[in-house]
Amino acid sequence: MATVTAALDVMGGDAGPAVAIPGAADALARIPGLRFLLYGDRAAVEPELEQHRDLQAASELVHCDVAVGMDDKPSQALRRGRYKSSMWRAIEAVKERRASVAISAGNTGALMAMAKFCLRDATGSTRPAIAAVWPTVRGETVVLDVGATIGATTDQLMQFAVMGAAMSRALFGERRPTVGLLNIGVEEVKGLEAVRNAGQLLRDADLPFLNYRGFVEGDDIGMGAVDVVVTEGFSGNIALKTAEGTARQITAYFREAARRNPMSRIGFLLASRTFAQLKRRVDTRRMNGGVFLGLNGLVIKSHGGTDAEGFAAAVETGVSMARVEVVEKINQDLSSYRRAQPVEVDEVARSGAA
């Protein structure tokens, strides 16, 4: 399998190198042929790196004087950290093709601003979206946007549908992934104007690379009703955080039930294998690793408060995306979508705002 080089902003997140370095080491143990460019403060990174000799051998450490703070405003981060910060240097490595993917647990707004400034967006007409791979009862579903665009136009929602379908096809091999728009009901008359317009235009367009199924509701996501769920970033982020909180709640309920009395503890021990499988399926760390779509390069956002296991999952997500060339496939579909769109449809799409 081809070697993939991942550029890591090891200073990002709540714990910085204390999580990023062991997380990278875990990912290296699972993925053959993986190499790293590590960007961060040498004094902070080297003590952690010395504890992971295999990672040290597979990495190049690049010293950076500046680290973007978790509470920095995007404009402030761009002014202070452009060209110098560990976050910028990791993204720049993708632009210069020295790395296939950049991964950071740092400030989301700053990462988005730097990624768009450095890599530019693929179409010149829309903000990128953050896509998450969501575990469901049927397998996995792509959900976007989960935090990049707060309030999306009809045209942006349609482009999100195209990008999400391309990502689903690249990752899971679906020839024509099913797509649904997240709404407050499945009836065509419900929801914001931008969502209703996007639904009508997607239905009329009958695009060859996606199968539009209509509106879906929040409880349809976990059931795997469609391969791709499209929404704007405000609703998507709330849905994502709600799902993660519910998963932790269920885990807490099981722990509480197992400790209730001696019979409960015996039952828990007898069913320990089943509970272990369930725990893995609802483990929120498996959802870690939001993908920035719509850029001319691959950037992965890890949760800032994740642990090493979660950061390793973000690295694995990035490597998987790089190996299936998801950026190239998304850009091809976006170009096809733009060429096929009639002028009058384009005008209607651009007029709606969520």
Confidence of residue 255 (pLDDT cuts 50, 70, 90): confident
pLDDT, residue 344, reads: 47
Lowest mean pLDDT among 127-141, 246-260, 320-334: 246-260
Cα angle value 285/290/292 (rounded, 5°): 165
Architecture field, domain 129-283+331-351: 3-Layer(aba) Sandwich (3.40)
pLDDT value for 19: 96
Task: Give the model's pLDDT for residue 354.
Answer: 44
Residues 30-44 have a mean pLDDT of 94
pLDDT at position 75 is 86
Q: Is the pLDDT of residue 259 over 60?
A: yes
Q: Are strands 34-40 and 59-63 parallel, antiparallel or unpaired?
A: parallel
Q: Judge contact between 167 and 330, C-beta under 8 A.
A: yes
Burial label, 41 (beta-carbon count in 10 A; 0-12, 13-18, 19+) = middle
pLDDT computed for residue 239 by the predictor: 87
**% of residues, the chain, pLDDT over 90:** 52
Closest by CA to 241, choosing from 146, 152, 347, is: 146
Confidence of residue 41 (pLDDT cuts 50, 70, 90): very high
Entry pTM:
0.86
Who has greater pLDDT, 83 or 178?
178
- Residue 247, CA atoms < 13 Å, CB-side half-sphere: 20
**What do you get for the CA distance between the two ends of the chain, in Å?**
43
pLDDT tens digits for 319-345? 999 999 999 888 888 888 877 765 445
Q: Say if residues 107 and 68 touch (Cβ distance below 8 Å).
A: yes
| pLDDT of 349 higher than 60 | no
Residue 117, pLDDT above cutoff 60: yes
Whether 102 contacts 93, CB under 8 Å = yes
| pLDDT for residue 1 is more than 90 | no
Backbone angles phi, psi at 117, to 5 degrees: -65, -40
Q: What tens digit of pLDDT does each residue of 214-243 get?
A: 999 998 998 999 999 999 989 988 988 888
Q: Residue 346: pLDDT above 90?
A: no
Give the mean pLDDT of 107-129: 81
- Whether the per-residue pLDDT at 33 is higher than 50: the answer is yes
- Looking at residue 72, its pLDDT comes to 87
| Cα 317 from Cα 315, distance rounded (Å) | 5
What is the predicted pLDDT for the residue at 288? Answer: 77
> Quick check: 317 and 292 in contact, CB under 8 A?
no
- The residue type of 338 is R
Residues of the chain with CATH 3.40.718.10: 4-119, 129-283+331-351
Task: Write out the H or E segment, with its range, that includes residue 110.
Answer: helix 108-119
State residue 244's pLDDT score. Answer: 77
Phi, psi of 323 (to 5 degrees): -70, -30
* pLDDT tens digit sequence for 290-322: 899 989 999 999 999 899 999 999 999 999 999
Q: Using CA atoms of 301, 302, 304, 310 in order, give the dihedral in degrees to the nearest 10.
A: 180
Classified by CATH at the fold level, domain 4-119 comes out as: Isopropylmalate Dehydrogenase (3.40.718)
**Dihedral of alpha carbons 196, 239, 69, 73, sign:** positive
- Model confidence at 267, in pLDDT bands (50, 70, 90)? low
State mean pLDDT over 199-219: 92
3-class SS of residue 318: helix
Nearest Cα neighbor of 348 from 194, 163, 203, 183 is 194
pLDDT at 124 over 80: no
Task: Report how far apart, in Å, the C-alpha atoms of 262 and of each of 5, 255, 256, 268, 279 are.
Answer: 51, 13, 12, 10, 21
pLDDT band with cut points at 50, 70 and 90 for residue 353: very low
